Structure 1
Amino acid sequence: MLNLILTDLRASIASWRLWTLLGWLEVRQRYARSRVGPFWLTISMGVMIASIGVVYGTLFGQKMTDYLPFLSISLVMWTFFSQTVIEGSTAYINSATYIRQASTPKLIYMLQVVWRNLVILAHNFVIIVLLLAVFGVKSWETLPIFIPALLLYILNAQWIVMVVGLLSARFRDLPQIVASVMQIAFYITPIIYRPNALARFSLIVDLNPLAHLIELVRAPLIGQVPSAMTWAVAIGMAVIGWLVALLLTGRYLKRIPYWV
């Protein structure tokens, strides 16, 4: 079982030209014949950050030079994570034609989802760079930490996609449930408010693994070092999550064509 999924994983990674091309074409097709192209995503994200930043920054009494970079990083990184998970839940379903007609590694459809959203993340990340350029980088020393933090962030998104994609192929009501859960998670995760804003209900943040994942990639960009607890939660999630995802996918890999 484990050998089967590891073979599929290796074959999927080896087919990187296929899933990177498919992911890139999907992004281009969304904005075919548009002069601005995928940067419409950046414009939409920029407008949302500006709107939420002014309203909630005023309500929370925040200093805009600090709050806008905080908010932009939070929203851009959360959008990547939530959209990846939501789209991942329908990855096998939407690729049913390819799965039934072509003998390809199954995990390429999971890798394709993550890659497609990484392309979108790269477009939206322009906003973060601009705001950091305008308001200044808080600490150049913490910026390199962002690279391993982002890799760990992506690894966690990938195993979650593998799990929800497989379960959604079997249980067709699950994609709607996943979308609803991600919507709820947005409100209980410190994205538009700072983690210390819930002083009386700090357990909501402390026991929320998504809060630690967001903090992992946000902290280095706002001049902070992620805590040891944040690293431990993120690494623990990655190790346990990948083990579960591989075992689960390996067990039901051959049934995917019949489910979709």
Structure 2
Amino acid sequence: MQHAVSPTYHIDANRPDRAGRAMADLRDGFAAWRLAWALARLDLRNRYRGSVIGPFWVTLSTAAMLLGLGLLYSQLFGIALGSYLPHLAASLVTWQALATLVGDATTSLSSAEAVIRQLRLPLTTHVLRCVFRNAVTAAHSLPLILVVFLLVGHWPGWELLLVVPGLAVLALNAFTITLFLGMICARFRDIGPIVTNFMQLAFFMTPVIWKPESLGDKAVWLPLNPFYTLLEMLRGPLVEGGGTLMTWVAALIYSSVLAAIALVFFVRFRNRVAFWV
């Protein structure tokens, strides 16, 4: 006597429940964060295989850039080196972490093509893998800020505590932008080079090597630059006394809009990623 085999899951083509599946992907991906962490560490070991100092090459290149730009632009802007270096150190380290993440985010899913097509892992795992990988790389350059502060005798006050919520907002943006760019660049491969060129332009349009007060009265328009608000959330507590309330409000608004766009895109097109990569 044969018994009917009941399906392990039910799919209704008329009601695919995209939102439910997307939320399940996010939930399962964050629950398995240790897997993403292990994959990120494996990526770094493979990237620097055969290297003597590994990711500290990033630290050395950042230190050389910091010294060169500090000596040059302190003279061009007529600012004392001891006053300019803390601003440049906090700005440059933060910007390089952000720019590297954005560039890596464009290939966060397409680079995992083989895994996505062969294993039923949450897409969130690959997004977290990219975020963790870049967080570890950025952490190698953080001591440069402390070294500069020690050399020039600059110490932030109680406003240093604002770095904690700043890092939380930055982490949210890192995840959402990796999720969004990973998906859209898997579909349209031309967007990756466009993003790279855009970040180069944004570097000069954002007060990284120049100070906001250089704009004079026009500095009030800087919160319209999303990169400035993210940068100021970390640089402000370290150098400029915590940043203005308008900067924090603008950063939270931009972060909320980006998260909403990424979530909508993820819900709508998550099932197509396997065909795009």
Select 1:142's aligned residue among 159, 164, 174: 159
Pair 1:167-2:184 in alignment? yes
Select 1:211's aligned residue among 210, 228, 231: 228
Question: Does the 8 Å CA contact 1:137/1:223 hold for their aligned counterparts?
Answer: no
Report what 1:76 is aligned to.
93
1:200 positional shift: 6.2
Question: Does the 8 Å CA contact 1:56/1:192 hold for their aligned counterparts?
Answer: yes
RMSD: 1.5
- Unaligned ranges ≥5, structure 1: none
Looking at structure 1, the residues matched to 122 and 48 of structure 2 have their Cα atoms a distance apart, in angstroms, of: 28
Question: Does the 8 Å CA contact 2:223/2:246 hold for their aligned counterparts?
Answer: no
Report what 2:22 is aligned to.
5
Question: Does the 8 Å CA contact 1:140/1:223 hold for their aligned counterparts?
Answer: no
Pair 1:44-2:61 in alignment? yes
1:77 positional shift: 0.6
Identity of aligned residues (%): 35
Question: Does the 8 Å CA contact 1:28/1:38 hold for their aligned counterparts?
Answer: no
Question: Does the 8 Å CA contact 2:223/2:250 hold for their aligned counterparts?
Answer: no
Give the secondary-structure state (helix, strand or coil) at the position aligned to 1:192: coil
- Unaligned ranges ≥5, structure 2: 1-17
1:184 positional shift: 0.7
Select 2:128's aligned residue among 95, 104, 111: 111
Give the secondary-structure state (helix, strand or coil) at the position aligned to 1:34: coil
Of residues 23-32 and 171-180 in structure 1, the stretch that sits farther from structure 2 once superposed is: 23-32
Question: Does the 8 Å CA contact 1:143/1:223 hold for their aligned counterparts?
Answer: no
Looking at structure 2, the residues matched to 155 and 181 of structure 1 have their Cα atoms a distance apart, in angstroms, of: 21
Which protein shows a greater Rg?
A: 2
Instruction: Give the TM-score normalised by structure 2.
Output: 0.89
Give 1:99-248 correspondences, 5 Å limit: 99-199=116-216, 201-202=218-219, 205-248=222-265
Question: Does the 8 Å CA contact 2:223/2:247 hold for their aligned counterparts?
Answer: no
Select 2:47's aligned residue among 21, 30, 33: 30
Looking at structure 2, the residues matched to 166 and 37 of structure 1 have their Cα atoms a distance apart, in angstroms, of: 30
Question: Does the 8 Å CA contact 2:160/2:237 hold for their aligned counterparts?
Answer: yes
